Structure 1
Amino acid sequence: MKKITACLSAILMALPVFTLSANDENKTMPDYSMLLMGGGLATCSSTATRHCLTDDVFSAAAKKQNQYQLKAEHLQAINSAGFWSEDRIIEQQQMLAILDFLRTQLAEETISERELLRLWRGAEIEVDGIWVSGRAVYAGLSGRELNFVLDQLEVPVLSSGSGRNASRSREFADLARTKNAFSVELHQRFVAMAQQVAGDKRKPRILVVTASSRDPFAAVDFYTNLFTEAGAEVSWLPLSAAYQAAWQTGDSNSCAELERHLAEQHGSYQRQRVYPDLMTQKVQFCRAGSKGAVAQIRRADAIFFNGGDQSLTLKALRLADGSASPELQQIERMLEAGQIVVAGTSAGTAVMSGGSFNGQRTPMITNGDSYNAMQFGAFDLPAPAVGCDKDQSCSNGLAENHLTYTGTGGLGLFRYGVLDTHFSERGRQGRLIRLLHDTQSRFGFGIDENTGLLVGFRRNADDPEVRLTVAGEAGVYVVDMANATSKGEGAALNLTKVTTHYLTRGDQMELNANQLRSRFADWKFAPNNLAQPLLSSGDIFERDNYKQVSHLLCSTQARQAEGRAVRVGQGVALTIYKDHSSYSRQGTFRQQSEEVAYCSYRNMMVDLQPAN
């Protein structure tokens, strides 16, 4: 009998992890398994009261802003010889002189970031007989350098007590008093998706991952409070590039050096001082390792990835050799089985691209703007750092806004095409089209701000492979390169017959056997505007100019629109036009007291060529 029991125990321990999930009783795929948001959600919080219906939403105990002190030891830390390169000595000395001048004025007073930057930029002092402008010094720092300085000056925001008994003030969110109803809707939709996985007998369990952030502690309070208020049981899952780096060193004591890993991987400093409780939690999580992380994921009904830098999230969930970490493997298994739903916003959406589709590897976009994309093409290289043009730290011969991507892809949870975000608002149509061309990828999905793309996987044999529905405020720009033709390369590239669609609220797509079909919402109708305006934009990729021009093309009888993006005599000329297969539908949707006008289109063709 003992031998039988021992054998049974061995068999049970050998079973795959996913078969032991707490959600195993849920055998039906949820209606939608992913919610991919384009960023820019305008949510009322104690640090962003401009998004609140009233100014008096939060108590005095809530964190309103970050705080800073100019102490002598803080300036000494900024003067670290290990951070500044030799060719940045002048900038370093001038910046320290400005800060030391402010220190004498403030007498170590605690001030907000807004006040610190106002005083900094307004200062003018004499250094070695030369007048130095604080505004010029500030403008001359790269993003990496400025973050380093601010991190060294930041101190915790305390809400009560003193000394060791003081408690850290936390950021709070309030969905009920958020102005933008679309932002509220998207957050609530995610919680409802999690509830479908959890069933109706308990609250859904949501894990929040803040790995995309340069400072992975900064958004923890916001998201855990936000989803708790929306009706979920919420925990922070402290995955990060720093955590993964600590484990891949092979040193059992490496978790005690998380501050060093945060500096090396994230460019984040002094977080122990600012978030001591969260750092303690992160160290404990690190010491528990992947077994502890996988155990947390197994209990979850949903997992949310924040915005920031998708390359950081990739490092958090893939090992140095590119293989999936145990945490990512667990998410993959549960997502495939319908035991968890996944959401992301901004970088948390972009990182989902990857895997293989139709025999082709799906890349992950990491950087760049449309103008540089069309001039120089796409590079399978690490993204340049923000502001690297200022301190000459750009590597691989790239400039700050060159188009880069990861050819092996991101997390691979969405394999059907490249995902891009903040899309229409930042004129990213050109960069998505160029990346698809250069990587020989077929589909690209550009998601606007405050907008979500719902992804539903096959639930039975008769369903399409994947169903996509647009939710939220704006739309999703879809590129299909199946019939595109090209000649030339670099800035001389000519691209013709690029098929594009723009689907808005309520529109649906189905992808099956490599064929994409779309269906407009039933409350949208064929436009009846008989006007035929001449449509043109002299700066087609600035702000949302492309969207505005294509909206007029969609809603009128105009047959084509033209645009240019030219700098110093070089650039690209673009034509958007209708052919026999083009269709458009428009309609209005009332969200509370506001009416939003939409125009969706299918099969608008795009040609791009060098501008003469």
Structure 2
Amino acid sequence: MVRFALRVALAIVLLACASSQAADKAVPKGSLVIIGGALRPDNAAVWERIVQLAGGRGARIAVFASASATPEKTGRSLVDRLAKYGAQAFFVPVAVKLAGSDYLAAADDPQLAAAVRSAGGVYFAGGDQKRITRALRRPDGSNSAVLDALWDMYRGGGVIAGTSAGAAIMSSTMFGEPKTVLATLKRGVEDGQEITPGLGFIGEDVFVDQHLLVRGRFARMLPAMLKKGYKLGLGIDENTAMVVGPNRDVEVIGYKGALLIDLSDATAQAGMFNLSNVRLSYLDSGDRFNIATRAYTPSGEKACGKLDPAKPYYREPLFSADILGNSTVVDLMGKLIDSDQPEAIGLALDSPNGEQPELGFEFRLTRTGSSVGYQSAVTEAYSIYNMRLDIRPIRIRQPLYQQYRQ
């Protein structure tokens, strides 16, 4: 009888463990709003979507300013901002830099955890993303009570929004102490240094980066993705957001757009960074992409604006001496998709006084049979899908600048 009782008890424990593991792996019913940074107060498309996904007017939204160097000031400002868009926002005092606070104790406070769990959404401010993971994970790497509550809220249908640092934490790997974009191409990345664990809300299969076009960061995504085995990367620009629904449908809203990097068929050479057959796509505001099906849908204003390769607008060679410049890669992609040229070339060069100044990189964009472009008749903006990108190291002759003589 005693043995039977012990077996029943053991079965109950095992069932409970199995149920807990199943819950941990449950597909979230909520949404993500991943913002590339520098979100303006008047960007109603993004702010209103956050409030809507949290439950609409009167929705309770927990504000985490954990990444900020001045969390109380930043948190108060964001609470006021969200209130102007109809939310009942409240500040969550879990931050490494919050004066007079024990952030480890706060992160395990049951009352704070309950408040987060019952909210309709959360908003992560920008700053240093390492401060977020440090505040929400215990020193042994396990989840704090507040982080578990945040996951429960998300799995139950709530929204997680984050800007800049708050966007970086969305993938399971994030940049920690990154070098410059060009130095990242030259020297690569290492775990625990340039890259560290994120919180992984978007899943294990997608890498996320922010401030993307303004700072030319698409190039630094590539070494990080190769290092960790990611096949898909999403990079979002400033004052713009990617809304990721529970069906893994991504919608771009706001000022500009996002770059999608696909390494499914890419090949890397040993030694210096050298990568072939990357698939690069630009999703403009209003465009959609499904992570599961890999299907693209242009915005309504572009649906009838598919470009005809037989009627190109641009008819001259396409070249840029600074492919890492503000929005340069997208400008070059837009011209190439509407051109009679088969390829466009961009260069990334260092200062003559920089590290390894003789080393640069050539970025070669190529139209393929699967490349397609759409143009808006209203804004003349482009959406470009499935363009090929090859990157190879090149040697720069020194001195770089010499007087031109006829």
Residue aligning to 2:175:
365
Distance change in 2, residues 1:302/1:553 (3 Å): same
1:241-252 → structure 2 map (5 Å cutoff): 241=96
Structure label with greater radius of gyration: 1
Q: Match of 1:106?
A: none
The aligned runs of 1:10-29 (5 Å cut-off) are: none
Instruction: Quote the residue 1:229 is aligned against.
Output: 84
Distance 1:562 1:206, change over 3 A: same
- 2:102 and 2:141 map into 1 onto residues whose CA distance is 24
Matched, 1:195 2:50: no
Q: 1:285 to 1:431 in 2, by over 3 A?
A: closer
Change over 3 Å in CA distance of 1:206–1:588 after alignment to 2: farther
Q: Secondary structure at the match of 2:40?
A: coil
**Conserved 8 A contact 1:365-1:419:** no
In structure 2, C-alpha distance between the alignment counterparts of 1:583 and 1:556, rounded to whole Å:
12
Q: Partner of 1:419: helix, strand, or coil?
A: strand
Aligned residue number for residue 349 of structure 2: 566
* Structure 1 residue aligned with 2:122: 303
2:144 match: 325
Match of 1:521 among 299, 302, 316: 299
Residue in structure 2 matched with residue 291 of structure 1 by the alignment? 110
Partner of 1:498: helix, strand, or coil? strand
Q: Is 2:374 the partner of 1:374?
A: no
Per-residue deviation, 1:218: 2.8
Partner Cα distance (2:314, 2:85) in 1: 46
Preserved CA contact (<8 Å) 1:377 1:434: yes
**Contact 1:285/1:292 (8 A) holds in 2:** no
Equivalent residues of 2:103, 2:135 under 8 A apart: no
From the two aligned structures, give the one with the greater helix fraction.
1
Structure-2 separation of matches of 1:588 and 1:550: 18
SS at match of 1:503: strand
Q: Secondary structure at the match of 1:321?
A: coil
Task: Output the CA distance in 1 between the equivalents of 2:103 and 2:257.
Answer: 42
Query: Contact conserved, 1:318 with 1:411, CA < 8 A, in 2?
Result: no
The equivalent of 2:403 in structure 1 is none
2:45 corresponds to which of 165, 185, 197: 185
Residue aligning to 2:34: 36
Q: Which of 311, 314, 320 is 1:531 aligned to?
A: 314
What is the aligned partner in structure 1 of residue 167 from structure 2?
349
| Distance change in 2, residues 1:288/1:446 (3 Å) | closer
Counterpart in the other structure of 1:4: none
State how 1:254-265 maps to structure 2 within 5 Å. Answer: none
Match for 1:190: what amino acid? I
Q: Percent identity?
A: 28
Match of 2:258 among 462, 476, 481: 476
SS at the partner of 2:78?
helix
Distance in 2 between residues matched to 1:417 and 1:444, nearest whole Å: 5
Q: Please name the residue that 2:235 is paired with.
A: 446
| CA distance in 2: counterparts of 1:351 and 1:285, whole angstroms | 19
Say whether 1:584 aligns with 2:377: no
Distance 2:153 2:141 in 1: 21
In 2 relative to 1, CA 472–195 (structure 1 residues): closer, same or farther, beyond 3 Å? same
User: Counterpart of 2:380 in 1: which secondary structure?
Assistant: strand
Quickly say closer, same or farther: Cα 1:329–1:289, change in 2 above 3 A. Answer: closer
Q: Please report the TM-score for the alignment, with normalisation by the length of structure 1.
A: 0.56
Aligned partners of 1:539 and 1:226: how far apart in 2? 37
Q: 1:505 corresponds to which residue?
A: 285
Tell me the secondary structure at the aligned position of residue 347 of structure 2: strand
Distance 1:583 1:188 in 2: 32
Q: What are the superposed Cα offsets for residues 121-162 of structure 1, whole Å, 9 maximum, x if unpaired?
A: xxxxxxxxxxxxxxxxxxxxxxxxxxxxxxxxxxxxxxxxxx
The alignment partner of 1:536 has SS state of strand
Partner Cα separation in structure 1 for residue 394 and residue 103 of structure 2: 57
Preserved contact between residue 535 and residue 560 of structure 1 (Cα < 8 Å): yes
| C-alpha distance in 2 between matches for 1:575 and 1:307 | 33
Q: For residue 285 of structure 1, report the CA deviation from its aligned partner.
A: 11
Q: How many pairs does the alignment contain?
A: 361
Tell me by how many angstroms 1:286 deviates.
5.0
Within 2, Cα distance between the matches of 1:575 and 1:418? Answer: 23
Letter matched to residue 72 of structure 2: F
Is residue 365–residue 418 contact of structure 1 (8 Å, CA) maintained in 2? Answer: no
Q: 2:213 aligns with which of 401, 424, 439?
A: 424
Pair 1:574–1:34, CA change in 2 (3 A): same
